[in-house]
Structure 1
């Protein structure tokens, strides 16, 4: 049997340079999710948007990315992943220029929407092209780690680069920086990146595209607004509409010869288990780190800059682990890496729960570093499993499903854990003496810690705000409860994943391409 074993072709300098180009494109895509926040005051002063327009300027990019990921990933499988990436890069550059020179809020909203549609081509195309570039499993694990690092760095450096640009230039500069990167991608991609398409794929079903959008957009909209505004019945209505349309979408896929999403992928145990673990990991990390940022500022009283500086060590751990996660996967194998990472993550959230309850700064920061040690290998390894266990002709679709799952996981984590923490906070504030406040002030104090801190700052007599310490304790308790929920769930998830992966018979060489 030894003669039947073929060593996968090793990557050359060309493939690694191609990976660098793909990673820079991903960094820009990720950066555009966060770079706008610092520019908003200048945009408000220049364009004078209404409250509704301001909301859409902030949200429309993420909504469009989430809505079009599946369509663009599947389109890449059909007409060529490199072609879709190049079309998306060109469109991203044009939309960036449109955004930079927008003279009205309406124009900026349209430009941001177009940026989102173009951005939806980047994540699935780059990840699926990595599968084509790197045939050796160990090299592919490393490449996915670098790809993941680019996403992480985009979120970290976006505000930093945006702040520097806004110091010296107009707000449109935060969009113009996208253009030279996309021009480089357009120039070098035809020479560095291979083309891949499924020659047997049929035509794109436009009705499925419409149904997928009508599924994802209402659910993402409802969940994100639940996170931002608190629970309201109207948000559940949006989510319900999305779920009902999603059921119609699934029924249609079952009867199509060339579905938008191949439901057979979900019958692969390793694919489904990895997708669920990936979603759950993002769910808890997004929720926990949102609480961490609020905790540092509202409970401990740090300024936004101080909170950002104190968060640098954990950000450093996340970045280093993104580069080094492949070593764990290659040495331990994908299954042990995922299971071990989930358990390390659970240790981190348990530690975070104790630190939050004790209101201890160093405990919070140390716990976030432990979470990074567990979370990064889990997410990158499950991403590799998702694209590695899918058939090669479905890699684009699988990549898009992975990215869509991460979008849902992050939004759900913020919304549901936020709702749980808010419930604990409001229960804590029940019966607290707020007799010295007006009805409006009392309502603000009872609703959120942010409202309590703002109200306390407006009161001239600090002694009159004796309830503030109770409010801070209520927030800390809610934070701790959410972390304990995360701990229990992550341990259970590790047990379930171990059983599913065992049935799937995955071993260290399970993902190596077959020749």
Structure 2
């Protein structure tokens, strides 16, 4: 008791040793602010790229780095930051990350050059890696009761997923009225209240016997994860290029050394022996594949709704809103359900719903209506909400409270890799299918041919420069090429998610 500050002591029930219930939920509400920010930030920037390109006369390579600098740094540092939070305090790490992220977001909004914008994005990845593992680890420590914690995790997962869904709505609204820098300034109204309320509502927690954080372990974890993400992205866009192969080799070599060190050290930065526990490993994979299916679906749906059906970003986002609501409801309803039905069955059914959603898209993908996409996303979202809630619960419940930061980092790494794979695998298949099927009408310049052949968005841009009859021919071919690729892509995704359901059923049944 003597180790508590006055504020922390008065916030703890002397009988149960817990915060009062209202303070726990107030803490969760505070932690949802950075969760929403990171989720929205993942999707909103794509809408600003055309304006950024015009502002800086940016090359394709520079624009690529504006997008990729953030996730590469973020992925490389998630494990390190999760472990660091266990050592120095998760609340302290959250406050450091929030302060740095807010300040750099303002700098990015007014960056004077494309190169400095890339640097700001990389620095945002550094501080962003502090936010998500800290929020999940703090939830693990605030909610000792598992049923309460499952509800909190359902809200956390729903906030993350719904934030990704409303990102296009927010981006569309901002860019209709403000310059491209406005998409970075979203961080300020979300993080400033978080920085004020976190010291009031959120109790500090850390590992009482953390051991030393070895610099070599930090370097090796970064040298494993960041090149792995780079390799996946490069393979998806360029195939087996020298960059992709080199990045993959670096990741494999660094990963082998990192794994060996973690298995032989008495106090490892990341306890890899957790992966011997089948429910833990199964939950990490279920988490990864659930995000894979969500991101892949949003990649297709956003383009179909806007570029094929002609909806504006705000209306397209509203079409996906029922799915976001369904995700929240499913995540909450699974909490009482899991008391009666084993978790492995629920997660397996949840992943089968994702497979069924992709099956619907495969059937109606060629010219899918707004209602068909809305229904498919609702079905997908129900599965994602249930799977994310239970998989995160199993992941962080598998470790002692003192090590929750490292476990949260594993969950977040799975999320990040799933997000990258969803875009890389399903997105690249869709682009490749489009390029192979689109038929360009005669009369286009060489530059117009190249742009229209690359992506559906490029074809729409070129069509605006053409006479009406030529534009109609190009759009009809481009729309058909895009949607026909969706049939094959969705079929593959349905098979992957069905396999994930079988894996989850087998791996989680011993939990």
- Please name the residue that 1:509 is paired with: none
Change in CA separation of 1:169 and 1:328 when aligned onto 2, cut-off 3 Å: same
Displacement of 1:380 after TM fit? Answer: 1.9
Alignment check: 8 A CA contact 1:283 1:412 kept: yes
Which moves more between the two structures, 331-340 or 382-391?
Answer: 331-340
**Change in 2 beyond 3 A, CA 1:493/1:453:** same
Task: Work out whether 1:472 is the aligned partner of 2:489.
Answer: no
What residue is the counterpart of 1:14 in the other structure? 23
TM-score, normalised to structure 1, is 0.85
What is the CA–CA distance in structure 2 between the aligned matches of 1:164 and 1:436, rounded to whole Å?
A: 36
Q: Give the match for residue 95 of structure 1.
A: 104
Equivalences for residues 44-443 of structure 1 within 5 A: 51-161=60-170, 172=181, 174-179=183-188, 181-227=190-236, 229-231=237-239, 233-237=241-245, 238-357=247-366, 359-428=368-437
Q: Alpha carbons of 1:112 and 1:387: their partners in 2 closer, same or farther (altered >3 Å)? A: same
Q: Shift of the alpha carbon at 1:467?
A: 7.3
**Is 2:508 the partner of 1:501?**
yes
SS at match of 1:390: coil
Q: Does structure 1 conserve the Cα–Cα contact (< 8 Å) formed by 2:165 and 2:317?
A: no
C-alpha displacement of 1:195: 2.5
Equivalent residue number for residue 6 of structure 2:
none
Offset of residue 193 of structure 1: 2.3
The answer on whether the counterparts of 2:75 and 2:416 sit within 8 Å (CA) in structure 1 is yes
Query: Which one of 470, 490, 499 corresponds to residue 492 of structure 1?
Result: 499
TM-aligned CA deviation for residue 345 of structure 1: 1.9
Q: CA deviation at 1:373?
A: 1.3
Cα distance in 2 for residues equivalent to 1:25 and 1:222 = 28
- Deviating more after overlay: 344-353 vs 95-104: 95-104
Distance 2:27 2:445 in 1: 62
* CA 439–343 in structure 1, closer or farther in 2 if over 3 Å, else same: same
Task: State the Cα distance separating 1:339 from its structure 2 match.
Answer: 1.5
Task: Give the Cα–Cα distance (whole angstroms) in 2 for the partners of residues 463 and 186 of structure 1.
Answer: 55
Q: Are residue 460 (structure 1) and residue 432 (structure 2) matched?
A: no
- Taking a change above 3 Å as real, the CA distance of residues 362 and 235 of structure 1, as seen in their structure-2 partners, is farther
Q: Deviations over 1:15-49 (max 9, x none)?
A: 11111111112222333333444555565566665
Equivalent residue of 2:209, what SS? coil
Residues 1:167 and 1:474: Cα distance change in structure 2 (over 3 Å): closer
For residues 18 and 317 of structure 1, the distance between their equivalents in structure 2, rounded to whole angstroms, comes to: 24
C-alpha RMSD of the superposition: 3.3
Q: Secondary structure at the match of 2:206?
A: coil
- Structure 1, residues 372-394: CA drift from partner, whole Å, max 9, x if none? 11121112211111111223222
* Secondary structure class of the residue paired with 1:394: helix
**Structure 1 position 455, deviation (Å):** 5.0
Distance 1:161 1:404, change over 3 A: same
Q: Which runs of 5+ in 2 are unaligned?
A: 1-15
The Cα of 1:400 is off from its aligned counterpart by 0.6
1:436-476, CA deviations, whole angstroms, 9 ceiling, x for partnerless residues? 66666666665544455555555536379757645533432
SS of structure 1 residue aligned to 2:42: coil
TM-score by length of 2: 0.85
CA distance in 2, matches of 1:179, 1:487: 39
